[in-house]
Amino acid sequence: MRKTVDGRAKSVRGDILAAARELFAEKGYRDTTVREIARRAGANGAAVNYYFRSKDALYEAVFDEAFETFGRPLGDLVGSVRDQATWRAALEKWFDFMLGLFLLDDPRQALVRRLVAQERSSPTEFCRRIYDGVFVPVVDVFRALLRMALPDEPAESFQAQFATLLGMCTCFIHRDPPWDEIILCPAMEREAWVRTLRDQIVATIVARYSFRTSRVAPR
C-alpha cells in the first residue's frame, strides 16, 4: 500500500512539474497562474502548494529539473580528459549538447529552449539564481576544457578567446524565423546539420589549440 501511495504522489508531482514546464515556456512566469498549472496537470491548487509550496518554488524546480536532466551530465566531461584524443572527444560531446539544445526539435529540449528565451526576453526576479545555478555550470565545463589547452594564459586574454569560441556556438540560439534562414541548411536533415556544425567548430578549436594539462587553472 505504501508503494502505491508513493507512486501516486510521484505521478501527481511529475504531472504538475510537466504542466508548469509547458505553461512557463508558453506564457512566461508572470502570465502563468497556479490555477492554470493545476488545471493542465489534472490536479488542484492545493496539490501544487503541497508539492512545491508556491509558484516561485515551482518555477525554480522547473529549471532545476532541466539542469539535472540536460546539464549535469556534462560535468563528467572534465574528468574524462586524459590526453589530446579524450580532450577532443569531450569538446565534441559538449558542442553536441549545446547545438542540439539550440537547433533540434526534441520536445523536452524545445521546452527548455523556450523557457530560456522567456527568461532572456523578460527576466524575472529569479534570473540571477537561474543563471548561476543552471547556465554557469554548463558554460563552465567548456571554460574548463579550454583552460586545459591554455593553463597559463592571462585572464584577460583567456576570456577573449573563450568568449569568441563560445560565440561560435551560442549564435545558433537564434534559430526561429526569419533568423533560421541565416544559420540553417535546408538541404540537410537537422541532425546531420548539427553534426556538421560540431565538426567544424571542434576542428577550428583543435587546429589552434592542443591539450596541455588536466589541471584546470582559476578563471
What does the pLDDT read at residue 118?
Answer: 87
148 burial type by CB count under 10 A (0-12 exposed, 13-18 middle, 19+ buried): buried
Q: What's at 188, amino acid-wise?
A: M
Q: How deeply is 96 buried, as exposed, middle or buried, from its count of CB atoms within 10 A (0-12, 13-18, 19+)?
A: middle
Query: What pLDDT is recorded for position 129?
Result: 85
pLDDT of the residue at 3: 41
Is the pTM of the predicted complex or chain greater than 0.75? yes
- Contact, 37 vs 48, CB < 8 A? yes
Query: What averages of pLDDT result for each successive group of 10 residues across the chain (219 residues)?
Result: 51 93 93 95 91 93 85 88 97 94 84 84 88 88 96 96 95 82 90 96 97 74
| pLDDT for position 219 | 55
- Give the pLDDT score at 9: 62
pLDDT tens string 61-79: 998 888 888 778 888 999 9
Q: What's the one-letter identity of residue 213?
A: T
And the C-alpha cell for 93? 560531446
Domains by residue range for the chain, with CATH: 2-53 (1.10.10.60), 64-208 (1.10.357.10)
